[in-house]
Structure 1
């Protein structure tokens, strides 16, 4: 039996990861666009609100981050990133808010 070339195995592994991981990543990016999160946030630069990378860095070791941040998204908050308030996002469900937080936290 002929051995499977190592570079083919690596390619197959990468493709498998892409198939498994990317639907959630694309869905969450699309969710962020559809819910207009991108009007105030971007991946790497500060706009009205903090960039996703800064949020991910601040909450990297916080086991309660998904719960806390999804509540802040839904209820709104002031003073966590300066004086600009984040208004409540009533157009999101709890599940959507949690999906967005998991996606934001992946920006490490």
Structure 2
């Protein structure tokens, strides 16, 4: 009985585990963010490194960027608007933003 309980607990933890920041780059690709955001250079939108550089040292950047990804926005890097991203979960957006802010 103890083994079954341990297996059920382990399976439950695996299913409810948060998305890790390491998964952020894969999520950026999965959600087609890289169509407009390249690693370094500006294309349709700013490069990921450009975003990381702009917000380096800003303690509130992650929360603001997470909101911008969810709701969309424009004006930080030019007039091209970014559409709202409604498909990724909040945990996925958090992981994507963490990956962006860690871009070197």
TM-score range, shorter chain: 0.7 to 0.9
Q: Which has the higher contact order (CA 8 A, sep 6+)?
A: 2
Query: 2:83: which partner in 1?
Result: 87
Please list, as runs of the form range in 1=range in 2, the aligned pairs for 1:1-108 lying within 5 A after superposition. Answer: 24-25=21-22, 27-108=23-104
Q: Deviations over 1:44-102 (max 9, x none)?
A: 11110000111001101110111000000000001111010000000111111111111
Q: Which runs of 4+ in 1 moved over 6 A?
A: none
Alpha-carbon distance, 1:29 to partner: 1.4
For 1:101, what is the secondary structure of its paired residue?
A: helix
The structure having more radius of gyration, on CA atoms, is 1
**What are the ranges of 5 or more consecutive residues in structure 1 without an aligned counterpart?**
1-22
Alpha-carbon distance, 1:24 to partner: 4.2
Q: Measure the CA separation in 2 of the matches of 1:24 and 1:92.
A: 14
- Number of residue pairs aligned between Structure 1 and Structure 2: 85
Q: Measure the CA separation in 2 of the matches of 1:42 and 1:106.
A: 14
Q: Deviations over 1:3-52 (max 9, x none)?
A: xxxxxxxxxxxxxxxxxxxx743x21111110000110011111100001
> Is the contact between residue 37 and residue 44 of structure 2 (CA under 8 Å) also seen in structure 1?
yes
**What are the ranges of 5 or more consecutive residues in structure 2 without an aligned counterpart?**
1-19
Scaled by the length of structure 1, what TM-score is found?
Answer: 0.74
